[in-house]
Structure formats: structure tokens, C-alpha cells
Amino acid sequence: MKHRSSIQIMGRLIGLVKPLAPFMILAVLMGVAGFLTAILITVFGGFAILQVLGNPAGIPLGTVFTLVLLFAAARGFLRYAEQACNHFIAFKLLALIRDRVFGALRMLAPAKLEGRDRGDLISVITSDIELLEVFYAHTISPCCIALIVSAMMLVFIGSFHGMLALVALLGYVMVGILVPFVVSRKTRGQGDAFRARFGEMNAYFMDSLRGLREILQYDLGNDRLEQIGERTQKMSVSEEKMKNQGGLSSAVTGFLILFFTLMMLLASGVLYAQGSIGFEGVLIPVITMASSFGPVLAVANLGSGLAQTLAAGDRVLDILQEEPQVQEVSQGRDIDSFDGAKVEDVSFAYDEDAILKDIHIEIEKGKITGIAGASGSGKSTLLKLLMRFWDVEKGKVRVSGTPIGEINTRSLRETESYVTQETHLFHDSIENNLRVAKWDAIGEEIEEACKKAAVHDFIVSLPQGYKTPVGELGSTLSGGERQRLGVARAFLHDAPLILLDEPTSNLDSLNESVILRSLKEEKEKTVVLVSHRPSTMRIADQVYSVENGRLS
């Protein structure tokens, strides 16, 4: 993806706030009022001093104490209201962004996600999105608040003398704009590197956990630990650089606050000596200046932390703005009645790797069409093209006479049942894993589908039957049991076209024969059966052989 500037990233992230703009405005108003009450506590203290000194600009002590108490109470309430609004916005937006990211991933899959690092994707979905809370809760409104409060303070200080307003302006710009800008520029690359390494670490951990048995079997534990240590060290180096920049930023910010407070004292002292202002023109601007850095200090402290947030935001935007390789169709045609399918002179390649060349297949309604061939010959790719997981480069794939690129995606998926070589099971019960194919299926339908897939007897033998949890990725079941559940899903989906990719590769001959007999008895179904087993191909009405991407 094209590298975005910090301004572009912030602009895109701010654009997501539109649905919650009223809450953001409320947060800014509460923040402005809160900081004003905090500043006015010290400012009115200055007016109390003037009253004690007998200066005409002083305010009666009773009035000052009453107002200070009111300001103190209001400051607590307003601060709470501001933070409540900011975090409400942040958590609502994080939920919205997660929903949009999952939607984007669904649109990108499988063409754009094939071969992507799953651990890195999980890092984006979890930690990167979570990190955006800093931006929405602690960046947008503080910047607006700093701008508004600083403008109001400039007007107030300028009411004593324009030169004092100029000193205040320089202080606010240096602390609130220049320092964060420089720190963000210096740490942006470090933030990108840290988030990338964090994603790599997640991927490596996931890979290690999934391969734990192999690691133990081949005594690779020390090697994996060393690799984890090296990756941790790289992350530590990146984080240390950002922390150092953050510490330097805090030191510079503290120095600038003291420096410009002294500059205000010096400038007002000179003006007092010249008779341009009275004593109140010295005391009140200096007190105001010293107590009004809170809003710009909140912005200055974003610095290095913002670098990580922007890096995370950039990775999230990469997913949200990536164009799918296959666009879903929603304004096309629906398949009202299935009438066979056809692959017409189709050629296809993954990037530069040519897989299929000038393939032509007739899939007759109500027939079983077999596709045989060696591993890597393109058999599975043919089924994926029928599912329109990819678009063909040359030729046409038609279902019921209509090019699949013109068929509404939802209608195409409803017309086809697809069983892959590796059945994915969710961390849930067997029943709910089967209901993925048909959420409103009744118990009798589920049992009938499982009987056809030769898995019903196994399920009822379990202590909890169909309510038995399958574990993460179906880890409590064997490969053959998972495969039979995948076939049961296809029967339950009850689509007119069934696409089976090596459906019996993990099964014994007995269970294979039960499934093949069930397929043969489905007279109203059209089946495309991919297999390298001669025993499986015996039920096919016609068999095509694919070798080196060509058909025979």
C-alpha cells in the first residue's frame, strides 16, 4: 500500500467520527469549560492578591473564595464529562472499525488473503485497532480544546498589551505545535517498525503454538525460544528509542514552559517600567501564562505515543482501503432454477504461476462430474473458480447459462455447496458447527445430513451427542471426523450444485462407501467431485483428467 503521511492518516481517522460528531462537540465544549475553570482558579487568586495590595483591579476576597470553590467543583464535573464523552466516542468507534475491518476482510477473502500472515492480521484486528483508542479519546478533542483555550487566553492576555499576547502565542506554538511535530516526525518510522515487529511476534507465537507437538517431537524448543528472544529484543530496541524520544520531549516541553513564563515576566516587567501597563498587567498575565499551558501540554505529550497510534491507524487503513480482487455482485441476476454449469476455455494463473490453460468442462444437471489428476494439477482451482473466489483471466464460467460475474454473489453461494480438503470447525458444539450451513435447520434435518455423511453414529456415541464441543480448530476430532462433518454441512445446505474437493481423502473404505452411496442417491443434485482415488471416481457419470493445467 502507498505510504501515507501523518496528516493523511489523521484525516482519514477523523472522517470516521462523523456518526458521533455531536458527542465530539460536547466533549470539546466540556474540555474547554474545564480548562477555563482550572485557569481561572489561579487567575482569580491573582486578583485576590491585587485586592490585598489595594490595587483598584482587585476583586473582594469573599467573591474570590466563592468563585474559586465553584470553579474547583465545576472543574471535576467538567473533566469527568469530557472524558466520559471521549471514551464513549472511542469505544463506539472501535466497535464500528472492527465491524468495518471484518467486513473488509470478508470482501478481500480469499483472493487477497491467500498466503497472508494470519498472526499479523490478528495483530491488526486486536492490538492495532485497540491502540486507536488513544487517538479518539486523547487526541482529537485535546487538539481542539488546546486551540480554543489558547485563542481565548491570547485575547485575555492581549487585553493588557499586544506584546504580551505575542509572547504567549510563541509559547503556545512552540509547546503545542512545534514539539509534537518534531517528535512525531522523528518517531514515525520507529512506530511503524514497532507495530510491524509486534505483528511478526504474534505470527511467530501462533505458529509455535500450532506446531507445539512437532516442536516437542523434534526437540526444537530451544531454537524457537531463541527466535522469540531475538524478536523480543528487536521490539525492545524500537520501544526504547520511542521512550527516549518521549523523555526528551517531556524535558524540552518542561523547559519551554518555564522559559516562556519567564519571558512573560520579563516582557511585562519592561512594559511596566515604561509605564505602558500597571502592576496588574504584570501579575495577571504572568499567572495566566503559567497556568494556561495545560491544554497545549496535553497535545505535546502525545508525541511519541502518537507515532505508534498513527502506525497502527495506517495498518488498519491498509485493510479498509484495499480493493478486493473479486468484487461482490449485488445488482446482477439471481439463479431462479439451476440448469447445469459450464467452464468455457478457461485459463487462470496465480500471479505469474499459470495453473489452468484452455479448460472446457460441461457440468450436466443431475449428473456426477469427476475431475481427476495429480496434486497441483489445478483440480482444486477449478472448484474455486466455480465458487468465484477468483475471476478467470480468459474464458467464461457459467452457471445456468449466466456468466458467474453477472450473478448476485449471495445467490451464487446459495446455489453451491463447497467442501474443501481441510474442514474448518469453529470453537463451538458439533450442532452449531453444522448449523453454519443452515441456521434454521431442525434436529431431524441435521441428523439426516449426518447419516448421509456417515457421521451420525459417531456423534450420538459421544457423551454430549450433538452438543459436544469440538475444541479450537476441531482439535478434539480426527481428520476423518472433521471431514465427514464438512460433508454433512454440504448435505444440510441442500444446494443444487455440490462441489467436493477430495471429500474422502481421510476416510476408510467403509465410511467412503456410505458417503458415495449417499451422493449417488441424490438424484436431484449436481455434483462436481475432485479426487485422485479411483474408488471415488467410480460413481462419476463422466470424468475429466487435468494434467499440467490441461484437460484430457
Query: For position 305, what pLDDT does the model report?
Result: 65
Tens-digit pLDDT profile for residues 262-294: 999 999 999 999 999 999 999 999 999 999 998
Q: How confident is the model at residue 441 (pLDDT cuts 50, 70, 90)?
A: very high
Query: For position 2, what pLDDT does the model report?
Result: 56
Tens-digit pLDDT profile for residues 149-192: 999 999 999 999 999 999 999 999 998 888 877 777 776 667 67
Phi, psi of 369 (to 5 degrees): -105, 120
**For the domain 341-551, what is the CATH superfamily, name and number?**
P-loop containing nucleotide triphosphate hydrolases (3.40.50.300)
Q: Does position 210 have pLDDT exceeding 70, yes or no? A: yes
Query: For position 313, what pLDDT does the model report?
Result: 84
Residue showing cell 465530539: 24
Query: For position 118, what pLDDT does the model report?
Result: 67
Residues of the chain with CATH 3.40.50.300: 341-551
3-state class of 224 per DSSP?
helix
Q: Does position 327 have pLDDT exceeding 90, yes or no? A: no
Q: Does position 101 have pLDDT exceeding 90, yes or no? A: no
Average pLDDT over residues 23-44: 92
Query: For position 252, what pLDDT does the model report?
Result: 87
Q: How much is the pTM?
A: 0.68
Residues of the chain with CATH 1.20.1560.10: 6-321
Query: For position 116, what pLDDT does the model report?
Result: 64
Average pLDDT over residues 140-151: 91
Mean pLDDT (the chain, rounded): 86
Could you tell me what percent of the chain has a pLDDT over 70?
95
Tens-digit pLDDT profile for residues 105-123: 888 877 767 766 666 777 7
Residue showing cell 488473503: 113
CA distance 93 to 90: 5
Query: For position 526, what pLDDT does the model report?
Result: 92
Q: Does position 310 have pLDDT exceeding 70, yes or no? A: yes
CA distance 203 to 509: 38
371 neighbors 379 (Cβ within 8 angstroms): yes
Q: Which of 107-121, 144-158, 439-453, 531-545 has the lowest mean pLDDT?
A: 107-121
Tens-digit pLDDT profile for residues 363-376: 999 999 999 888 77
Q: Does position 437 have pLDDT exceeding 80, yes or no? A: yes
Query: For position 267, what pLDDT does the model report?
Result: 95
CB atoms within 10 A of CB 344: 16
Query: For position 159, what pLDDT does the model report?
Result: 93
Residue showing cell 525460544: 225
Tens-digit pLDDT profile for residues 389-426: 988 889 999 999 999 999 999 999 999 999 888 888 88
CA distance 305 to 180: 10
Q: Which of 433, 455, 160 is nearest to 283 (CA)?
A: 160
Query: For position 3, what pLDDT does the model report?
Result: 67
Question: Which one-letter DSSP state was computed for residue 124?
Answer: I
Tens-digit pLDDT profile for residues 231-243: 888 888 877 877 7
Q: Does position 527 have pLDDT exceeding 70, yes or no? A: yes
Query: For position 24, what pLDDT does the model report?
Result: 87
CA distance 217 to 211: 10
| DSSP per-residue string spanning 487-546 | HHHHHHHT-SEEEEESTTTTS-HHHHHHHHHHHHH-TT-EEEEE-S-HHHHTT-SEEEEE
Tens-digit pLDDT profile for residues 333-366: 999 889 999 999 999 888 777 888 888 999 999 9
Q: What is the CATH number of domain 6-321?
A: 1.20.1560.10
Instruction: Please give the span between the terminal C-alpha atoms of the chain, in angstroms, as a whole number.
Output: 41
